[in-house]
Amino acid sequence: MFKDPALIRFSTLEITDPQRDELVREVVGRAFLNVEFTPLDGSLHMETETRLLPGVTVTDARVAPHRLETSHDPSRDSDDFVLLWSPSPAKGFAEQFGKVVHADGSTALMSCADRVTCETHETFHHVTVKLQRSVLLPLLPNAEAALMQVIPADNEALRLLTSYLASHRQLMNTEAVRDPRFAQTVATHITDLAVLAVGTNRDAAELASARGLRAARLDAVKRWILTHLGSPELNVEAAARAFGLHPRSIQMLFADDGTTFTSFVLRERLALAYRCLSAPLSAQRSVSEIAFSCGFSDLSYFNRSFRKIYGETPTDVRHRFLSARPH
């Protein structure tokens, strides 16, 4: 079983009611987060998943209606920074320095060294990215001046950061994250996107764009492709329109990744076809029907490409899996 000391999960589902609120307040609130929780609708129910990366801590959480205030213990003060936002609109807000950010998908850079109040009146799904000062300041030297400046939900870097975290969440829960180079790369991309969302000077923006922004854009384009594999209209021009980029920019993203747009689409379409051919639920579908549903318009090209990649024909794969099924 994969065990990872850098991944912390917590859920109140298995804690009995008499113990729940006090445990959440003492263990999660005061000991771990250094905050005070007050339930606003019965008990404190929550499910959290926290990933510790080099210089970056990412938390994905769902919490019942509550009020949260940072502790007054000066010995526990942190000089780090945090971004907190809800991927979908919710009835809630965060307040610091007399300024408010609503839970409408927007966020702001907040100081962990100063008092913060958060309140939500419905179950609140939110994402928190905590960034160490030593990691953030080289790219965002004006961090203090940027505190509580609202970053709207349609900010491109924030949207890409949300998408990047969503697509990498499962990957970060595998053995891959134990590779320090992988963990550092993910942390760097997250920091770059956070810096671009907040806004920084030109030199830092160029560096962050060359790393985190490009990686997140490529990730988003790949995810878009996977949802359009069956479309015969899938091409680089359609992808460029979907992301408001020039086709050449899309091609360069894949070139920097060591491949091409066309090669990626072909590989994923063939992989989809292979899964369909080997799936019992597709046993009644013909090979040509599967090929066309995966976006291929030329059956001969599909057969040649399939055999080149998998070393056998689509019909061979279909027969092998059907013959292996119990009668």
Same domain, 241 and 171: no
pLDDT over 50 (residue 170): yes
Same domain, 199 and 263: no
Once rounded to an integer, what is the mean pLDDT over residues 57-74?
82
Report residue 49 CA to chain centroid gap: 13
Bridge partners for 70 per DSSP: 35
CATH for 315? 1.10.10.60
pLDDT for 3-33, tens place per residue?
A: 566 888 888 887 777 677 777 777 666 666 6
pLDDT over 70 (residue 190): yes
Instruction: Decide if 63 is inside a domain.
Output: yes
**The predicted structure's pLDDT at residue 101:** 94
pLDDT over 90 (residue 179): no
Same domain, 74 and 149: yes
Instruction: Decide if 72 is inside a domain.
Output: yes
Same domain, 75 and 196: yes
Same domain, 247 and 260: yes
Out of 186, 207, 227, a domain closes at: 227
Give me 283's structure tokens.
Answer: 């046993």
Give me 177's structure tokens.
Answer: 């994250």
Domain with 157, as residue range(s), is 7-227
pLDDT for 130-167, tens place per residue?
A: 999 999 998 888 889 899 999 999 998 999 999 899 88
Out of 179, 198, 227, a domain closes at: 227
Same domain, 172 and 234: no
Same domain, 193 and 238: no
**The predicted structure's pLDDT at residue 175:** 63
pLDDT for 254-302, tens place per residue?
A: 998 899 999 999 999 999 999 999 888 878 889 999 999 999 999 999 9
Once rounded to an integer, what is the mean pLDDT over residues 82-105?
92
Instruction: Decide if 269 is inside a domain.
Output: yes
Same domain, 117 and 31: yes
CA distance 111 to 96: 8
Same domain, 171 and 246: no
pLDDT band at 1 (very low <50, low <70, confident <90, very high): very low
Bridge partners for 174 per DSSP: none
Instruction: Quote the number of domains for the chain.
Output: 2
For the chain, give the mean pLDDT: 86
Task: Name which residue leads in pLDDT, 263 or 48.
Answer: 263
CATH for 152? 2.60.120.10
Same domain, 213 and 309: no
CA distance 324 to 303: 22
Q: Is 326 left (phi over 0), alpha (psi -120 to 50) or beta?
A: beta
pTM (two decimals): 0.74
Once rounded to an integer, what is the mean pLDDT over residues 172-179?
65
Instruction: Decide if 122 is inside a domain.
Output: yes
pLDDT over 90 (residue 107): yes
Instruction: Decide if 146 is inside a domain.
Output: yes
**The predicted structure's pLDDT at residue 2:** 47
In degrees, rounded to 5, the angle at the alpha carbon of residue 115 between the alpha carbons of residues 143 and 145 is 20
pLDDT for 226-254, tens place per residue?
A: 999 999 899 999 999 998 889 999 999 99
Per-residue three-class SS string for the chain: CCCCCCEEEEECCCCCHHHHHHHHHHHHHHHHHCEEEEECCCCCCEEEEEEEECCEEEEEEEECCEEEEECCCHHHCCCCEEEEECCCCCCEEEEECCEEEECCCCECEEECCCCCEEEECCCEEEEEEEECHHHHCCCCCCHHHHCCCCECCCCHHHHHHHHHHHHHCCHHHCHHHHCHHHHHHHHHHHHHHHHHHHCCCHHHHHHHHHHHHHHHHHHHHHHHHHCCCCCCCCCHHHHHHHHCCCHHHHHHHHHHCCCCHHHHHHHHHHHHHHHHHCCHHHCCCCHHHHHHHCCCCCHHHHHHHHHHHHCCCHHHHHHHHHHHCCC
CA distance 295 to 230: 4
**The predicted structure's pLDDT at residue 71:** 65
Same domain, 128 and 36: yes
In one-letter notation, the amino acid at residue 292 is F
Question: Listing from the earlier edge strand, what are the strands of the sheet with 117-120?
Answer: 35-39, 66-70, 117-120, 92-96, 99-102
Out of 211, 227, 243, a domain closes at: 227
Task: Name which residue leads in pLDDT, 57 or 12.
Answer: 57
| Nearest Cα residue to 174 out of 162, 161, 186 | 186
Give me 72's structure tokens.
Answer: 């007054």
193: phi then psi, degrees, rounded to nearest 5 = -65, -35
Same domain, 208 and 281: no
Instruction: Decide if 84 is inside a domain.
Output: yes
Instruction: Decide if 1 is inside a domain.
Output: no
Residues 6+ apart with CB under 8 A from 36: 25, 29, 30, 68, 69, 70, 71
**The predicted structure's pLDDT at residue 33:** 66
pLDDT for 78-93, tens place per residue?
A: 789 999 999 888 889 9
Task: Name which residue leads in pLDDT, 57 or 32.
Answer: 57
